[in-house]
Amino acid sequence: MTVKSANAALPPHPQRERENLCIHQRRHLPADLGITESFGAAIHALNTSQLTDGVINRSKRMMLDTLGVGLLGTRTAVFNKALKYSQLFTSRERSSVWGKSDIILPPHYAAFVNGIAVHSMDFDDTWHPATHPSGAVLPALLALAETLPSQPSGLDLLLAFNVGIEVQGRLMRFSKEAYNIPERFHPPTVVGVMGSAAASAKLLGLSPEQCSHALAIAASSAGAPLANAATQTKPLHIGNAARRGLEAARLAQIGLKGNPAILDLDSGLGVYYKDYSPSAMADSAVRAYKWILEDQDVAFKRIPAHLGMHWVVDAALAAREKLQNAVGKFDLSQIRHVTLRVPPSKYVNCPLPATEHQARHSFQFNACTALLDNEVTVASFGDAHIGRSALKELLGKVSLETPEDNLPSFDKMYCEVEIATHQGPSYKARCDTFYGHWRKPLTLKHLVEKFSVNASSVLCTEGVEGVIDVIGNIESVAECSILGSYLRMTSNQERLDRMRIL
């Protein structure tokens, strides 16, 4: 240690860089509202009068589809494992499990298992930029609604739902990386948990500051790697997004705080993206609020498989039809080789899937199933179907190409299927926009049909029709608890099955 006498003049105090100041000081400077603050303010302030007809219509379709897909999903193995696990927990607050007449769980775990059900078969909606927006939000809201002392109205629920969707859409526009098919983090785990936190905060009526903290707390629960897609764990990504967003809002409600600049910072939400350029939420005080859902619709799936599969299936069906029209009948033995022209995306390139999860993420499998059966349905992913030797033989004839003009983006990709025959001619078909894509939306009739088929696997007719009715008229529903009671109206068969177990 040295003690020196020195008369040297000291350097002047350096100008404090703006970024070195802690957040509170920065706010005292003449500055705009922070980004995170603007989100907290908007979540708090957005109200039902700002819901436009377009947004109401689109979000009701999303709610209906999500419920149907979730009900069907309660019959899957992954759902049952999660349910058994969740039944370790009890609580005073009780929330229902969709499609189960007498199982209740703590709200977080109800959100968890219902969310898993929704994503269990990869049958839920997809948006652009890519994520599965509804599954992360609706299970959390319904579970939460059941615990509130005064039941929210249908319109309250609709508003909270749209807040959850809107926040996800805004966050995804913070980076270019989000616009392409993902490679690192599974998007629902990044933005889905934030949407769930926002929606839950809305339904709870939190203050603007609490809403911001809900987002901050949720950020520490975000991010799961893509490698678990195409496995049994993928559905938990949505289940966890729902539950942990709800948890974040509840923690914010009792005063937990996180970083009030969580969206502003690269070290905040920015950690999940290679490029990150956040911007403030639009002014939520305006009468005509511009919801993203108004400009950009979602896609609904006709097949319980990754969205990319829908292009290749439609192309395969069209190519098959061409072959059939030319030759008179379709016969597998005619096929010499099948070429698929698809966008580059490793996790949906699976030549020989061994499990249903892999099958749902395989261009090859879906194309071949379409060729073999002239359709791809829920049943196509059962073990028996996956294991068919005819299918395996056909899979052996498939090769993939990734043309340069085929971009890994759900807004820009296409799929082409070319069947080369032993006789000589080739039959080619291309799909640019599958039926169900946002450019070619499902008709209401087909959407309701999809819901009915799904829901009937678990609910009795009264339940099925009741849900359709409630969602259809949700703006006029006084208490949304009525939805819950329909979701518990299981069919006789389910009740019988349960009795047998007892």
Partner 1 sequence: MISTVKKAIRPVWAARAIHKSAVDVLKQPAPEDTVTASFGKFISEIKPQHLSPVVLHRSKRMVLDNIGVGLIGSTTDVFELALQHCQNMYAPGDTSSVYGRRGIRLSPILAAFVNGVATHSMDFDDTWHPATHPSGAVLPAVLALSDMMPANNKPSGLDFLLAFNVGIEIQGRLLRFSNEAHNIPKRFHPPSVVGTMGSAAACARLLSLDPTQSSHALAIAASLAGAPMANAATQSKPLHIGNASRLGLEAALLASRGLEASPLVLDAVAGVAGFSAFYEDYVPQPLESPSNDSHMFLLEEQDIGFKRFPAHLGMHWVADAAASVHKVLVGVGPGTISPAQVEDILLRVPKSKYINRPFPESEHEARHSFQFNACTALLDGEVTVQSFTPAAIGRPDLHALLSRVRLEHPDDNPANFNRMYGEVQLTLVGGDIVKGRCDTFYGHWRNPLSKDSLRKKFRSNAEVVLPSEKVERLIEVVEDLDQLRDCRNLLSQLQ
Site for partner 1 in 4-43 (CB under 8 A): 4-8, 10, 13-14, 16, 19-22, 24-25
Identified binder of partner 1 from the candidate list 250, 301, 306, 385, rule CB under 8 A: 250
- Interface with partner 1 in residues 355-394 (CB under 8 A): 364
- Of 55 and 241, CB closest to partner 1: 241
**CB closer to partner 1 out of 254 and 496:** 254
What is the nearest approach in angstroms of partner 1 to the Cβ of residue 99? 20
Helix (H), strand (E) at residue 175: none
* Residue whose CB is less far from partner 1, 17 or 53: 17
* Residue among 27, 75, 184, 388 that touches partner 1 (CB under 8 A): 184
From the list 149-157, 213-221, 379-387, 471-479, the region that binds partner 1 by CB under 8 A is: 213-221
The stretch among 194-202, 246-254, 313-321, 471-479 that binds partner 1 (CB under 8 A) is 246-254
Beta carbon of residue 189, minimum distance to partner 1 (angstroms, whole number) = 7
DSSP string covering 258-269, please? Answer: --TTTTT-TTTG
CA torsion sign, 310 to 225 to 296 to 142? positive
Contact positions with partner 1 (CB under 8 A) in 440-499: none
Q: Is 416 exposed, middle or buried (0-12, 13-18, 19+ CB in 10 A)?
A: buried
Residues of span 87-106 touching partner 1 by CB under 8 A = 88-93, 106
Q: Is 4 exposed, middle or buried (0-12, 13-18, 19+ CB in 10 A)?
A: exposed
**In contact, 121 and 360? CB cutoff 8 Å:** yes
Closest distance to partner 1 from the beta carbon of 261 (Å): 7
Choose, by CB under 8 A, the member of 160, 199, 219, 280 that binds partner 1.
219
CA distance 307 to 131: 10
C-alpha to C-alpha distance for 196 and 139, rounded to whole angstroms:
9
CB of 64 to partner 1, least distance (A): 28
3-state secondary structure of 290: coil
Question: Which residues, other chains included, contact 377 with Cβ-Cβ below 8 Å and sequence gap of 6+?
Answer: 303
Span near partner 1 by CB under 8 A; candidates 57-65, 134-142, 255-263, 376-384? 255-263
Residues 39-78 that bind partner 1 (CB under 8 A): 78
Shortest spacing between CB 25 and partner 1, in angstroms = 7
What whole-number distance in Å separates Cα of residue 481 and Cα of residue 141? 11
Residue 490 Cβ, how far from partner 1 at the closest point, in Å?
24
Q: At what angle do helices 208-219 and 193-204 cross, to 10 degrees?
A: 150
Q: Counting contacts by CB under 8 A, is residue 150 touching partner 1?
A: no
* Residues between 107 and 146 that touch partner 1 (CB under 8 A): 107-108
Applying CB under 8 A, the span of 236-244, 306-314, 374-382, 437-445 interacting with partner 1 comes to: 236-244
What tokens appear for 460 in the block? 């009795």
* Torsion angles phi and psi, residue 430, rounded to 5: -130, 140
- Tell which one of 73, 99, 258, 304 touches partner 1 (CB under 8 A): 258
Select the residue interacting with partner 1 from 153, 296, 334, 344 (CB under 8 A): 344
Nearest alpha carbon to residue 342 among 418, 394, 282, 286: 418
Provide the terminal-to-terminal Cα distance of the chain, rounded to the nearest Å. Answer: 79
**Shortest Cβ distance from residue 207 to partner 1 (Å)?**
17
Interface stretch with partner 1, choices 178-186, 194-202, 288-296, 414-422 (CB under 8 A)? 178-186
Give the residue, chosen from 48, 54, 84, 478, that forms a contact with partner 1 under the rule CB under 8 A: 84
| Shortest Cβ 289–partner 1 spacing (Å) | 28
Q: Which residue, among 152, 54, 144, has the nearest Cα to 106 in the 3D structure?
A: 144
**393 to 422: interface string for partner 1, x by CB under 8 A:** --xxxxxxxx--------------------
User: Of the two residues 347 and 438, which places its CB atom closer to partner 1 in the complex?
Assistant: 347
For 240-342, strand residue ranges (E) read: 335-341
Indicate the pairing of strand 95-96 with strand 104-105. Answer: antiparallel
The token duo for 66 is 């999500």
Three-state secondary-structure class, residue 91 = coil
Which residue among 270, 278, 308, 463 contacts partner 1 (CB under 8 A)? Answer: 270
- Which CB, 212 or 491, lies closer to partner 1? 212
Closest of 200, 201, 202, 198 to residue 263, by C-alpha: 198
CA–CA distance, 242 with 332 (Å, rounded to integer): 44
